[in-house]
A and B are shown apart, each in its own frame.
Chain A
């Protein structure tokens, strides 16, 4: 099988690269690395590449993943070496493996949110004690007030770092920015925030 799973990071310079821009970037990097992509058959061939839970713009990451098929069979090590050389520094290749990773099993993601103003435990507890947490959420049908409480799987705070496990799956995701908007709405002043995605988890909370 010439199927490779690639884990990569996005540093602060790369956090504003949109998904479409990343697709173009990876296509060019694969060419530079002379890693021949396999294309789909049919009238409008496109490279066989799939992404795990695409990330929104404005978030750094240590756990992005995509899966790609090559027309050639090389080792995962060689793949990693070649692609690393062909990528810009701000998108480091962290790991390449041929072992199957089930993107579909992703159910949540851990985030680290650095707040400008420190947030106390009490405030977080009070926030989570609300019967429901309502916030305007953009959906396909327009803006809709939604209860996001059930999408916050875990949340804790230490000084100005909020650690949160948020729902991230095919059936819907909670973006960390929306969590912060909700906290602001419920009276917690965070100030400006930096966002970092750390890892994915499955339904049993095992790290993927």
Chain B
């Protein structure tokens, strides 16, 4: 049957597995069958580093067979439905309904409809409350689970924080429970005792009007707060020295090596900058060892060094020099995303790139200096123009700049600052007599800001579609220059992303309704259907404004029961400083006392 439909669908290699580095085990020889579910299409899911780490980590266990599941593309979904084929795992082709555990990783809110589609296709009841002993346990981890409430009904438990240690802990517990023949409910109870595990069914949320009024444990032995998990030592933590090498091209088709976790910067809009605090580095020795093994075992000709802000790695120069000794001989390219634009990085880039990219990218995030101070970007106009000058003298003709609009405390002047800054960047090219001025080009890519939990802007009102479209108008009408291009994104998706980012349990019904109306793959503009979503909201008696509105400091925020180390006091302080455009120095300049030092690791103790 499957063979038959594979002849009809687009990109059948998404569903066949068999890639180099994928793991084959005898299902009869293991105690636990685990389906690692990434709720997006193969090419996206395969690119994700977290999945790549945990896939191999779980498969290191002899007692567990971890297989991959991606969301079938809509054409495959139709064919599978027609032929009544239940969703299967890539490695064995077995239906995942019969597995022990389904573990989802949730990377962005717009994949939530795909989670329900995955469960539907597998033949597993959507709601935790409706599952019985014949169903697998369904759990989730990943950045979205820092506010798990909008999807609380669909998961038996959540894994909050970094998963490398916790995963083995709950698999051990699960195995013991299975051997003892414990029930589903008893097993979940046992797993809930592990730090960082959150079982939504153990808590009750109460609402009044737009607001969540309270969030309380239903039982005495359930903790009021759930502490995120954090890896203390980045050198000893598991990192695979082999990876799966897909046949078809995927989004990030290269070796990805994580240099460090966390960030010292504290940009006020950035959730990753807070939830992964404090910054913890891998040693250059360990990085080098991993890089060599990964390159040799994968056969890739490119390695990407990933982190939130690569320039902040303390021994960057030293490490790159060592790495180059290895990669140059082998014609391996090094990619360094997230670099700041300064002398040092341009120098570095000219060293590592065999073929120079034609355009240089950097992210001022906001157009006016005031606004960059509001968001604590820590970048002056002189830094940006200086970077542009260096780029142009280095031979670049085109510069790409990333910005956001709809930020809190933003004025029309701040928005107009974006095209004005782009114009100043263009002008730096002509400060010196240079040829080829005709081809100089600055592209601004402008996203709509989405307030996220656990940031100083978690209380802010998200801009409405009308406000955003007015601001987009300012962007394109402020200056007329053929050398400046302005692109902005579809803001309807941003509004929905914001709703789910800061939403609460009431959204579970909206999500279900949206899926029933046919919403799926919402992160893909060709499938995103705002009309259906609006209908889902109105069918359930809610509006998007209920969730995008401003919150007060004393309101009960749906995600507050999670303890990330960073205190609410610190976030409030940062929000107050944002209002008066006051910057906060980074962790290495001066500790701001954010609370993350309670983890007793990383930069706080350097």
Q: Which residues of A contact B (CB under 8 A)?
A: 11-18, 21-22, 24-25, 27-32, 57-58, 86-90, 192, 194
**A16 in contact with B16 (CB, 8 Å):** yes
A19 CB to closest chain B CB, in angstroms? 11
User: Which of these binds chain A: B3-11, B63-71, B484-492, B561-569?
Assistant: B3-11
Contacts of B560 in A (CB 8 A): none
Contacts of B13 in A (CB 8 A): 16-18, 21
**Chain A minimum-CB-distance residue to B5:** A192
The answer to whether B347 has its CB under 8 Å from any CB of chain A is no
Contacts of A22 in B (CB 8 A): 247
**A28 to B245 CA separation, bound complex (whole angstroms):** 9
A164 CB to closest chain B CB, in angstroms? 18
* CB within 8 Å for A32 and B3 given contacts A16-B13, A89-B18: no
**Chain A minimum-CB-distance residue to B295:** A31
A16 CB to closest chain B CB, in angstroms? 4
Contacts of B516 in A (CB 8 A): none
**Apart from the given pairs A13-B16, A17-B13, 13 other A-B contacts in the complex at a CB distance below 8 Å:** A12-B3, A15-B16, A17-B248, A18-B13, A21-B247, A25-B20, A28-B245, A28-B298, A32-B20, A86-B299, A88-B18, A88-B19, A192-B7
**What are 21 sample pairs from A and B whose C-beta atoms fall under 8 A apart?**
A12-B3, A14-B247, A16-B12, A17-B248, A21-B249, A22-B247, A25-B247, A27-B299, A28-B20, A28-B245, A28-B298, A29-B20, A29-B299, A30-B299, A31-B301, A32-B296, A58-B7, A86-B20, A88-B21, A89-B24, A192-B3
Ranked nearest first, the 8 interchain pairs of A and B with the lowest CB-CB distance are A28-B299, A13-B18, A31-B299, A32-B299, A90-B18, A88-B20, A16-B12, A16-B13
**Chain B minimum-CB-distance residue to A192:** B4
Contacts of B24 in A (CB 8 A): 89
**Chain B minimum-CB-distance residue to A36:** B330
Contacts of B248 in A (CB 8 A): 17-18, 21
Count class of interface residues, chain B: 20 to 34
**A194 in contact with B3 (CB, 8 Å):** yes
Contacts of A17 in B (CB 8 A): 13, 247-248
Give the contacting residue for B298; candidates A32, A57, A87; CB below 8 A.
Answer: A32
**Chain A minimum-CB-distance residue to B24:** A89
**Chain B minimum-CB-distance residue to A26:** B299
Q: What DSSP secondary structure best describes chain A's contact surface?
A: loop
The answer to whether B297 has its CB under 8 Å from any CB of chain A is yes
Contacts of B595 in A (CB 8 A): none
Give the contacting residue for B6; candidates A14, A16, A29, A31; CB below 8 A.
Answer: A16
Contacts of B299 in A (CB 8 A): 27-32, 86
Contacts of B223 in A (CB 8 A): none
B531 CB to closest chain A CB, in angstroms? 36
Among B17, B21, B245, the most chain A Cβ lie within 10 Å of the Cβ of: B245
Interface residues of B in 291-307 (CB under 8 A from A): 296-301
B73 CB to closest chain A CB, in angstroms? 14
**A87 to B18 CA separation, bound complex (whole angstroms):** 11
Contacts of A13 in B (CB 8 A): 16-18
A111 CB to closest chain B CB, in angstroms? 16
B148 CB to closest chain A CB, in angstroms? 36
Among B16, B17, B22, B249, the most chain A Cβ lie within 10 Å of the Cβ of: B16
A48 CB to closest chain B CB, in angstroms? 15
* CB within 8 Å for A14 and B4 given contacts A21-B13, A21-B249: no
Contacts of B19 in A (CB 8 A): 88
**A24 to B301 CA separation, bound complex (whole angstroms):** 11
**A179 to B217 CA separation, bound complex (whole angstroms):** 67
**A192 to B6 CA separation, bound complex (whole angstroms):** 11
Among A24, A87, A192, the most chain B Cβ lie within 10 Å of the Cβ of: A24
**A15 to B248 CA separation, bound complex (whole angstroms):** 12
A105 CB to closest chain B CB, in angstroms? 30
**Chain B minimum-CB-distance residue to A14:** B18
**Chain B minimum-CB-distance residue to A17:** B247
**A88 to B485 CA separation, bound complex (whole angstroms):** 45
**A25 to B21 CA separation, bound complex (whole angstroms):** 12
Contacts of B11 in A (CB 8 A): 16
**A58 to B296 CA separation, bound complex (whole angstroms):** 31
* CB within 8 Å for A32 and B247 given contacts A13-B16, A16-B12, A90-B18: no
Contacts of B17 in A (CB 8 A): 13
Contacts of B22 in A (CB 8 A): 88
B97 CB to closest chain A CB, in angstroms? 22
Contacts of B3 in A (CB 8 A): 12, 192, 194
**Chain B minimum-CB-distance residue to A33:** B299
Contacts of A57 in B (CB 8 A): 12
A73 CB to closest chain B CB, in angstroms? 20
**Chain B minimum-CB-distance residue to A89:** B18
Chain A proximity mask over B1-42: 1 for CB below 8 Å, otherwise 0 = 001101100011100111111101000000000000000000
**Chain B minimum-CB-distance residue to A195:** B7
Contacts of A30 in B (CB 8 A): 299
**A58 to B3 CA separation, bound complex (whole angstroms):** 10
**B7 in contact with A87 (CB, 8 Å):** no
**A161 to B301 CA separation, bound complex (whole angstroms):** 43
**A25 to B253 CA separation, bound complex (whole angstroms):** 12
**A86 to B22 CA separation, bound complex (whole angstroms):** 13
